[in-house]
């Protein structure tokens, strides 16, 4: 098959910062190539139009037209025109788009288009207790109503999305997956106690809860270090330009001395930070099915993560990780301490986590499931 991914992000130095959506597409694209499928990436929101091909993937850079009041419409029509051209030239059979801000609304290519639910703006605003922009909700709902099919990365996300938009659309659950070869663990001797968080520094991912949690860990384990890797972001609620600045005021003096904020690192360098960690923490309030959790587990790192919604579709609490509500600071800290103190438990979690990823979250498995879905949609489109 010839699959195109329409996306606002993709991990590549020529394309700018990429988050979870881009990372999940990257893992899937590599697996699809290995299974002899053709992959194109259509990345909108770029500084200029362009094209390049790398490692067998064709990448199209799309600059959003700037025209007051019409930019969204012109961008969608530009995407539509490119999609029609690529389909006419037999370079693509189907397009997959994310639900984020409803980029697929009013885009009517000659080939079918499907949406993979990674979490819309409406979805994340709901989880973060914020008001969603009416225009975003409108486009997200219209896109979901009009596309040929829907995949959701978790059952929780699919069910909540239907509820929030008042829809009853069928969806197929296909979890995010990761490249097991890229995330094959290596034995690295490290006697330090390193607690790692990697991802965007933002309120919705529990970063303003993490200082309180680490303060309690620091009381019992003053030797432990907290390493933060990822992009800093503004805080919508306080209007602060930096979540990291807000965080620093919440640590005790002693705890802050044991915190290191690394900042953004290239995706290719992220693995090294995970390898050095003793365990990883993800006290988030809002996700769909986070790739970061999968990457940590694949590298045999025990995780202490949020117990909200999607979490039980990844982690079996007490078997291959711990799940705790982000605001239960003491309980969360106690689970971290338990892993720091109990080498046997840490090893059991590490082995079980890796086995879980191999059996359920391999990108090869996800690629096969996705292709089966795409084929059904393309076949139905051909006979319509």
One digit per residue, pLDDT tens: the chain, 384 residues?
Answer: 999 999 999 999 899 888 889 989 999 999 999 999 999 999 999 999 999 999 999 999 999 999 888 899 999 999 999 999 999 999 999 999 999 999 999 999 999 999 999 999 999 999 988 899 999 999 999 999 999 999 999 999 999 999 999 999 999 999 999 999 888 887 666 779 999 999 999 999 999 999 999 999 999 999 999 999 999 999 988 999 999 999 999 999 999 999 999 999 988 889 999 999 999 999 999 999 999 999 999 999 999 999 999 999 999 999 999 999 999 999 999 999 999 999 999 999 999 999 999 999 999 999 999 999 999 999 998 776
End-to-end Cα separation, the chain, in angstroms: 19
Both structure tokens of 154: 């978790």
For residue 126, tell me if it sits in a domain: yes
For residue 315, tell me if it sits in a domain: yes
Q: Can you give the CATH number for the domain in which 121 is found?
A: 3.40.50.2000
Both structure tokens of 128: 């973060």
For residue 156, tell me if it sits in a domain: yes
Place of tokens 């290995």: 34
pTM reported for the whole predicted model: 0.91
For residue 185, tell me if it sits in a domain: no
Measured distance CA(339)–CA(352) in Å, rounded: 14
Do both 153 and 241 map to the same domain?
A: no
Could you give the number of structural domains in the chain? 2
Do both 21 and 140 map to the same domain?
A: yes
Do both 267 and 162 map to the same domain?
A: no
Place of tokens 């001395």: 257
Do both 143 and 206 map to the same domain?
A: no
Measured distance CA(273)–CA(265) in Å, rounded: 10
Do both 89 and 165 map to the same domain?
A: yes
Do both 201 and 338 map to the same domain?
A: yes
For residue 187, tell me if it sits in a domain: no
Do both 18 and 117 map to the same domain?
A: yes
Do both 61 and 115 map to the same domain?
A: yes
Do both 167 and 272 map to the same domain?
A: no
Do both 70 and 100 map to the same domain?
A: yes
Do both 356 and 369 map to the same domain?
A: no
For residue 184, tell me if it sits in a domain: no
Which domain, by its residues, includes 88?
2-177+363-382
Do both 97 and 201 map to the same domain?
A: no
For residue 188, tell me if it sits in a domain: no
């Amino acid at each position: 098959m010839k699959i195109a991914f329409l996306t606002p992000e993709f991990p590549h130095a020529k394309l700018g910062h990429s988050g979870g959506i881009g990372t999940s597409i990257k893992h899937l694209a590599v697996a699809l190539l290995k299974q002899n499928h053709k992959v194109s990436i259509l990345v909108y929101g770029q500084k200029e139009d362009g094209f390049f091909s790398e490692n067998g993937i064709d990448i199209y850079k799309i600059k959003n037209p700037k025209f007051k009041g019409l930019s969204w419409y012109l961008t969608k029509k530009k995407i539509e025109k490119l999609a029609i051209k690529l389909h006419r030239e037999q370079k693509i059979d189907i397009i997959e788009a994310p639900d984020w801000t409803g980029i697929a609304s009013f885009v009517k290519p000659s080939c079918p288009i499907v949406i993979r639910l990674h979490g819309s703006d409406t979805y994340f605003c709901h989880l973060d207790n914020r008001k969603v922009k009416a225009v975003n909700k409108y486009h997200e709902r219209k896109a979901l109503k009009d596309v040929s099919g829907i995949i959701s990365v978790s059952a929780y996300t699919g069910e909540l999305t239907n509820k929030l938009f008042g829809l009853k659309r069928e969806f197929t659950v296909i979890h995010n997956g990761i490249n097991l070869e890229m995330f094959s663990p290596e034995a690295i001797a490290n006697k330090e106690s390193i607690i790692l968080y990697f991802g965007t520094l933002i309120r919705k991912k529990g970063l303003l809860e993490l200082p309180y949690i680490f303060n309690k860990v620091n009381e019992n384990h003053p030797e432990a270090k907290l390493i933060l890797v990822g992009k800093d972001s503004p805080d919508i609620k306080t209007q602060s330009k930096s979540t990291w600045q807000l965080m620093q005021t919440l640590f005790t003096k002693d705890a802050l001395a044991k915190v290191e904020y690394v900042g953004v690192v290239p995706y290719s360098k992220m693995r090294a930070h995970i390898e050095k960690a003793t365990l990883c923490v993800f006290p988030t309030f809002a996700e769909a099915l986070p790739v970061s959790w999968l990457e940590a587990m694949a590298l045999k790192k025990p995780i202490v993560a949020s117990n909200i919604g999607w979490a039980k579709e990844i982690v079996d609490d007490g078997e291959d990780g711990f799940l705790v509500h982000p605001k239960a600071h003491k309980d969360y800290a106690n689970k971290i301490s338990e892993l720091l103190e109990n080498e046997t438990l840490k090893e059991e979690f590490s082995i079980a986590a890796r086995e879980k990823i191999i059996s359920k979250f391999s990108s090869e498995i996800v690629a096969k499931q996705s292709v089966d879905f795409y084929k059904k949609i393309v076949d139905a489109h051909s006979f319509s």
